[in-house]
Structure 1
Amino acid sequence: MQPFERDLANLRDGRYYAKKAQRPVTLKTASGVALEIPGPAVLAEVYALPWLRSRVDAYRSGSALLTRPIDISGEPTPIHQGELANELLAAIQQLPERTTTEAGRPYRDLGSTPPRRHPALDRST
């Protein structure tokens, strides 16, 4: 298990977050079950950024995300955010299952979240 996966598993529900982007998001499945996943800012800090940085050197230029292979010099190139979102979603869906003693509810609920793709993020549109 990667350190960022362990950090995600260590998240617990019931914590107060002052900023809206940090607050957990509640989703309902088609069967009516409520899932509570980490807020976007928490998910980015705890999982997404460490996951990305384990694969490439990442930089920000305004609203653009630039990457280059680790330990290779040269100009970083922009990454398509739709492709990144789809890769991140695939990585989250492949997280190993954990019991209640091994992971908090946010981790377990995140693994139960149905796959979603936003058409605006697809390269084809």
Structure 2
Amino acid sequence: MANRRKDALHKCSRTLVNRCGEIYVGNVSSLKLVKTTMAKSVLDAGWGQLKTMLDYKCAHAGIVFKEVDEAYTTQTCSNCGSLPESRPKGIAGLGIREWTCYGCGVTHDRDINAARNILAVGQGCLAVGIPVL
């Protein structure tokens, strides 16, 4: 299983590097998640390995690879940049997969919204919204 996982991660990372000019990833700590109830899922997914593979393959190909702070990326509206009070919060909020921004009325898928925010933070073009901690 470990060899299959590693092979799949190599193929996935190579495809991403070949297809993308820039790759930005959140700074989720897989080592911290291993200490939670999600340990098996985190280890099975090979998040840490994928980031490592992307890092060295991007460096070799001359592609931008950057790990960015992902704090509040699922909760900040990627459309208007607001951090609404009614946003999904905490462990209970993880089950909320879609939410609507009360600032601009846009409905977001939690993961797609986070991906847009991570991209914006990586490119340095997010002027408002995600607070600096």
Greater relative CO (CA pairs within 8 A, separation 6+): 1
Asked if Structure 1 and Structure 2 have the same fold, meaning a TM-score greater than 0.5 normalized by the shorter chain, the answer is no
Name the structure with the higher strand share. Answer: 1
TM-score (norm 2): 0.31
TM-score (norm 1): 0.32
Name the structure with the higher helix share. Answer: 2
